[in-house]
Amino acid sequence: MTPQDIDRRTLLKLSGLSLVGATAGCLEGEEEEPTTTEQSGGGGGGDDTEETTTASDDGGDGASSYTIGMVDSLTGSLAPYGERNTRGRELALEAVNEVGIGDDGVSLNISVEDDESTNQGGVNGAQKLVNQDGVPLLIGSVGSGVSIAIHDSVTNDAGVVQISQNSTSPELTTRPELLRMSPSGAAKGTALANLVYDDGHENVAVTWINNDYGTGLSDVFAETFESELGGTVSYNEPHDQGQSSYSGILTEMASTDATAWVFLTYANEYTVMVNEGFDQGYNTAVDYYGAESTVADSIIENTPEGSMDGMKGITESAPQDQENYQNFVSAFESAYDATPTVWSAYAYDAVTVAALAIEAADEFSGDALASVVRDVTRPEGEEVFNFEEAAAILKDGGSPSDINYQGVSGPVDLDENGDPPGFYQIYSVENHEYVFGDYITS
């Protein structure tokens, strides 16, 4: 099924649901510090004093560990999302290292670089990991533009496998070597357009963050809303990242006849817009809508009560009735005293898929890992729900195509473009809290 084939009857049904009391109503507390935050050169999941080496191409014989890289957003606009990834990454490392890779039970370590929520920061971090540390596989990043910049400038020419844990721009689909755990935003943009239209809005104003994420999502939204649904997008303009005020953008949106405003932006930027919109009374004059990046505890914490009540949107989700997701939630809550979002689950799956590729490959090299990384996720194999189950099959002589890893975020099933299928939820803001409904599937 293509993103454009989302069942509109399902979306119509979901848009009328009462979202109060849904199972995913508690998000990760971003004020809590993760147990560990890996900086450059850190060996995740192990004793900080342990020597970390990048395993050679002999498949790890005699090596103390396998080391892969990660470029994540530890500072800047995307830092709230990078914190979520840290927790998912650490849980996955713990699960992998309890089993070990190969017959000798070699451990996995992750060297992490901060992309500072910028394309150049991501490229700089990736260059260090690839050129200096020699990693054959790199996980990263959060921002779609950052992931694309890393691919185009570093990993593609170096033959390094890249798995983005959180990037959703449709533009990633045009780069088949750039794999990702989170689904393409194309389906999300279509679903969001349907949601806004089905709520009775025929004229909308859209502002989007001026990067690959915002461009891709806004293009899909506008095309669906106007060409397929017959609505009008009377304002469709970008805004820059990291500004202290967006009052000019809001004034321009208010000058239109739009009855709904759609914010395709990040948490820090949206927080500024919500506060300025509240000061001007815009929140009572129009209905607010957003996507996954306008769901963050930091937004709730830094905006006044009532400033965005009634807001609705579409966000990625996980299949909450799936047993291994429930097991992941239990482990997460036990470790961090907080309930995970699907973004931590994507980070968990990125690490697990990387570890399975290392287990399945003939050698620890980019070419060898690239030849098997899709196969361990595909539906032709036996369904396995964690690293231990999958590794047991591989260690017993099974081939990569003999296993089908079912991620804690849902079936991974990486296609020829490196994209997984997606699960989405409708969310709303009620009494200054996020509440969630059932999910739909692309």
Q: pLDDT tens across 48-97, in order?
A: 333 334 554 444 445 579 999 999 999 998 898 888 889 999 999 999 99
**How many structural domains are present in the chain?**
2
Structural domain includes residue 157: yes
Whether residues 304 and 328 fall in one domain:
no
Whether residues 160 and 299 fall in one domain:
no
Whether residues 177 and 240 fall in one domain:
no
Whether residues 353 and 237 fall in one domain:
no
Task: Determine the pLDDT at residue 341.
Answer: 85
**Contact (Cβ atoms closer than 8 angstroms) between residue 283 and residue 276:** no
Whether residues 330 and 230 fall in one domain:
no
Structural domain includes residue 223: yes
Distance CA 252, CA 394 (A): 58
Task: Determine the pLDDT at residue 83.
Answer: 85
What CATH number did the domain enclosing 388 receive? 3.40.50.2300
Whether residues 210 and 82 fall in one domain:
no
Structural domain includes residue 30: no
The structure's pTM equals 0.76
Whether residues 432 and 301 fall in one domain:
yes
Two tokens, residue 327: 């097991």
Whether residues 205 and 218 fall in one domain:
yes
Q: pLDDT tens across 243-281, in order?
A: 999 999 999 999 999 999 999 999 999 999 999 999 999
Whether residues 103 and 176 fall in one domain:
yes
Q: pLDDT tens across 361-385, in order?
A: 999 999 999 999 999 999 889 999 9
Whether residues 74 and 146 fall in one domain:
yes
Whether residues 153 and 210 fall in one domain:
no
Residue with tokens 């590794």: 391
Whether residues 148 and 95 fall in one domain:
yes
pLDDT at 156 over 60: yes
Number of Cβ within 10 Å of residue 49's Cβ equals 6
**Contact (Cβ atoms closer than 8 angstroms) between residue 173 and residue 414:** no
Structural domain includes residue 32: no
Structural domain includes residue 222: yes
| Domain containing residue 281 | 183-315+422-439
Query: Measured in Å, how far apart are the chain's first and last C-alpha atoms?
Result: 7
